[in-house]
Amino acid sequence: MTPPGDTVSIPVEKLKRSLRAEAAIAPPSVTPTPVTKETQIIAIYGKGGIGKSFTLANLSYMMAQQGKKILLIGCDPKSDTTSLLFGGRACPTIIETSSKKKLAGEPLEIGDVCFKRDGVYAMELGGPEVGRGCGGRGIIHGFETLEKLGFHDWGFDYVLLDFLGDVVCGGFGLPIARDMCQKVIVVGSNDLQSLYVANNVCSAVEYFRKLGGNVGVAGLVINKDDHTGEAQAFAAAAGIPVLAAIPAHEDIRRKSANYEIIGTPESEWGALFAELAGNVAAAPPVRPKPLTQDELLGLFKGEAVGRGVTLQPATFEDMCGRSQIQKPSLEVVYDAV
């Protein structure tokens, strides 16, 4: 008979052993074989609000006007990638729609989640409600659903994935970690935070390249370029090309705010996005050289980023408001024999 005191400890220990065994399982290795897909799958990363969705909507539209078959997939939990493409209208997300279909006992069809405009096909993965789940896990679930819909059999020239730049999260870093794309494009500006995120993306690419991955960085798109030069300097230091510099122009800001596509052949900005489309298509995936924190700060003037600040250690008196009383040690010290 099991002693009364051990009735709880046995299942707890069993659970601990199970969790340790699960934690010890290594994730699937990245396939080291060369990329052979005809479809170019490109993941675009950047800091929230830096203009990824604006860049992608206009880029995808221009590529479609050039005769390419384009699929744009929004992978940001905000689900706003396709809003500019569809004139501000919200696109039903894969996660929400698939849940409703499942509850109703109905199969999910491509037409439930994929919509098109002027040759651009677009969809949103979506994510959990605020405070109710992990955005990264939502991404993983979304791609599992795409695979069930036949994602790998679709015949597109380009698939553009819009990802939040927080690659510390395994879900957002999925295309890099699992070789789901051939190359990565980063969107940044002449500010420290956006380049910090761009540098993190380069670090993630370099990390998985060391593990045998194939994904590389095709280049940097500078958005809201005010010609101060920090983004250009970052690209040069990281060893990646600048694919386009979109100026900080009032006409672009106003039209974007009104959900107006400017990446059209007849637009005054058409040549800019036509050049970007060509560069995106031709740029090879290169292995970046991530910068250290000090190197990144060095791209900016000291007064702009506070480089003159020194680290001053805190004391016991600072923390407790009183002096520390030195107590005698109980350590036993043995004489050498």
Give the DSSP per-residue string, 196-246: HHHHHHHHHHHHHHHTT---EEEEEEEEEE-S--HHHHHHHHHT--EEEEE
User: What is the Rg, in whole angstroms, of the alpha carbon atoms belonging to the chain?
Assistant: 25
pLDDT for 139 beyond 80: no
For the segment 201-243, what is each residue's pLDDT rounded down to a tens digit?
999 999 999 998 899 999 999 999 999 999 999 999 999 999 9
Q: Reply yes or no on whether 16 is catalytic.
A: no
For residue 44, give the nearest of 185, 245, 169, 194 by alpha carbon: 185
- Active site residue: 80, 112, 157, 166, which one? 166
- Active site residue: 47, 183, 224, 255, which one? 47
Q: Reply yes or no on whether 52 is catalytic.
A: yes
- Looking at residue 301, what DSSP letter applies? -
For residue 43, give the nearest of 242, 222, 205 by alpha carbon: 205
- Active site residue: 69, 78, 101, 116, which one? 78
Q: Reply yes or no on whether 47 is catalytic.
A: yes
For residue 195, give the nearest of 288, 334, 265 by alpha carbon: 288
For the segment 155-170, what is each residue's pLDDT rounded down to a tens digit?
899 999 998 766 556 5
Domains, the chain, in order of start with CATH, read 40-299 (3.40.50.300)
Q: Which two tokens stand for residue 319?
A: 């923390």
pLDDT for 259 beyond 80: yes
Phi first, then psi: give them for residue 296, nearest 5 degrees: -65, -45
Coil, helix or strand at residue 5: helix
CB-CB contact of 158 with 70 (8 Å): yes
- Active site residue: 52, 183, 224, 255, which one? 52
Pairing of strands 120-124, 115-117: antiparallel
Please tell me the pTM assigned to this model.
Answer: 0.78
What does pLDDT average to over the chain?
84
**Spatial separation of the C-alpha atoms in residues 130 and 132, rounded to whole Å:** 6
